[in-house]
Structure 1
């Protein structure tokens, strides 16, 4: 494959019939911005031939009050097997919404110890732009392949761990939300949450990492934005753990595959009154 976490539409076209390759559609839209099931509806209207649909709101810890939290390894493995994905598969994830939530699903597989997973650079738009066809019928999934989780606990952070990081500055905290929300001058889209950021964190809006063509910006641009973290531990956060994974993906493109994601992100942090909140005028 490649040292990059990305593959091109052209590469996918050349390799899509490989027997060990599995393609996953992870299209997802925030509930506060789009109708319910918008991602699944996008998949149903047309997807890359053979792709199965990964719903981050269903393959999640649905007992949590927080949105799309990482499920335990038992549930993840069970759901993945039902999608026909298992050990020995090369996985390519894509979406129709500028890495929402293909980067998240890529990170989920890596957290579960599966290294042979990649993201289609530019997503569905790149596939169609390269002449790729779509189908609107779900594929016939052949199960039976076992998925063995090898959980990397270092790739996920809890609120308690983030409290320690905020107090000690032991590793950079990179926040992917828009600058207005990060600085506390624009409202959060989730009702009841104050805006602002975890003390000591740095704002790297995920939109700055994505070009107008829906692809990750080039390495030179990534180096300017993220170069200080290319070879050191870092933690990415956002509103609910989705766009944070775009930062993790971008740093992997620079060679750092060990970036953790704060799964609860701002939704969890700001829901606890005891957690300190910093704003631009602090």
Structure 2
């Protein structure tokens, strides 16, 4: 079962009582923000929402931030969240669109197409006058979940490096332009500045309206990707960012334009910017 990539607050409100609709608060804060997403979830959330820990559902043996886990570990986490193959998963975050696309992409990566992002996230939900829960989160039953890995939706560093010598894919970086061009230091002090040679830049926050936090219409999205140098439907795109979170927003944008093949470079700049064997373009150096 497939689902619309984006759903509205009105659509979701009408389905909160549907046991097959599972709402996930997937808020993630950068370490520099010094905020606790789970504590905030406990204090305020969409009624019935469950917490998807972007920084916890990961490969715990990898030192890089929140790298994807094995299909078995993902299935274990999904089961703990009470999700089954019959569930329609709806993801949101408290920014509008920052981290919500990460679990949207992860569920698709592990074979679950019935997954959507709440357009505008919690800000749009509250702006529409929808109910907000402030009582302690309720309990729910776990399930047994089966994950089916789709390797075509993710790239490893070796594949991105190989693409430098034989370019068949376009890397599109979701970081702010001043981080992409190296004029602003990376938030992680051990990470070099700049970008992957030959990559293009489309800051993820350009995909949303700054006031409503909702995703721009398809015509505006098409213009953004075209202006960034992407030929949608012709280029094979690999999205990158700081640590594999906001890259998923670019994949969501491409999905809305009909491209369901875009992949995510999971290690992103946290990996590329720290290795000694990865070349970097830094116009500001």
The verdict on a shared fold, with TM-score over 0.5 as the criterion, is yes
Correspondence 1:253 to 2:267: no
Q: Does 1:217 align with 2:187?
A: no
Q: Residue 23 of structure 2: SS of its match in structure 1?
A: strand
Alpha-carbon offset, residue 139 of structure 1: 2.1
**Matched residue, 2:188:** 190
Aligned mates of 2:141, 2:284 — CA distance in 1: 56
Aligned ranges 1:194-205 → 2 under 5 Å: 194-205=192-203
TM-score (ref. length: structure 2): 0.94
* SS at structure 1 position matched to 2:254: helix
Report the alpha carbon displacement of residue 281 of structure 1 after superposing the two structures with TM: 5.8
For residue 205 of structure 2, give the secondary structure of its aligned residue in structure 1. Answer: helix
RMSD: 1.5
Within 5 Å, give how 1:147-158 maps onto structure 2: 147-158=145-156
**Alignment: residue pair count:** 279
Change in 2 beyond 3 A, CA 1:41/1:23: same
Deviation at 1:102, TM superposition (A): 0.6
- 8 A contact 1:91–1:117 mirrored in 2: yes
Q: CA deviation at 1:54?
A: 0.5
Cα offset for 1:273? 1.4
Could you tell me which residue of structure 1 aligns to residue 66 of structure 2? 68
Q: Note if 1:239 corresponds to 2:242.
A: yes
Task: Please state how far the C-alpha of 1:166 moved relative to its aligned partner.
Answer: 2.2
Q: Deviations over 1:158-208 (max 9, x none)?
A: 000010122222111100001011001110000121110000000000111
What residue number does 1:230 align with? 232
1:12 aligns with 2:15: no
> 2:132: which partner in 1?
134
Distance 2:3 2:88 in 1: 14
Instruction: Find the aligned partners of 1:149 and 1:272 in 2 and give their Cα distance.
Output: 31
CA contact (8 A) 1:184 1:196 kept: yes
Range that drifts further, 9-18 or 113-122: 9-18
Provide the rounded CA distance (Å) in 2 between the counterparts of 1:4 and 1:257.
12
The answer to whether the 8 A contact 2:3-2:116 is kept is no
Partner of 1:274: 277
Structure 1 unaligned segments of length 5 or more: list them: none
Please state how far the C-alpha of 1:2 moved relative to its aligned partner: 8.0
1:109 & 1:240 partners in 2: Cα distance? 18
Structure 1 runs (4+) greater than 4 angstroms displaced: none
Deviation at 1:155, TM superposition (A): 0.5
Indicate how the Cα distance of structure 1 residues 281 and 128 shifts in structure 2: closer, same or farther if over 3 A, else same: closer
- Alignment pair present for 1:173 and 2:176: no
